[in-house]
């Protein structure tokens, strides 16, 4: 999630140049709530800080990145 996902250009006029900023905040909030409802049906939705703590507590493998040549 990004702040612009729930803000409109009416609230932050300096950011009106970003795509989607013409959509009213109320519409964005309804959409985000709908998207989170769908995700919550299939996943445990948590704040990013909780996710980071959960991931750090697990013994996850460390993988070296493979970059295209």
For the chain, what is the domain count?
1
Burial 22-52 (b: 16+ CB within 10 A, else e): eeeeeebeeeeeeeeeeeeeeeeeeeeeeee
Domain that holds residue 10: 3-57
- Give the model's pLDDT for residue 39: 96
Does 63 reside within a domain? no
pTM as predicted: 0.69
Per DSSP, the three-state class of 60 is coil
Could you tell me if residue 65 is inside a domain?
no
Residue 13 lies in a domain: yes
Distance CA 5, CA 27 (A): 10
Residue 36 lies in a domain: yes
Tens of each residue's pLDDT in the chain, 69 residues:
888 999 999 999 999 999 999 999 999 999 999 999 999 999 999 999 999 999 999 998 988 998 977
- The span from the CA of 20 to the CA of 23, in Å, is 6
User: Is residue 69, in this structure, part of any structural domain at all?
Assistant: no
């Amino acid at each position: 999630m990004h702040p612009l996902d729930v803000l409109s250009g009416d609230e932050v006029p300096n950011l009106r140049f970003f795509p989607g900023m013409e959509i009213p905040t109320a519409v964005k909030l309804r959409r985000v709530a709908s998207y989170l409802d769908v995700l919550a049906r299939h996943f445990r939705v948590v704040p990013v800080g909780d996710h980071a703590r959960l991931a750090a507590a697990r013994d996850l493998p460390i993988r070296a990145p493979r970059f295209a040549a």
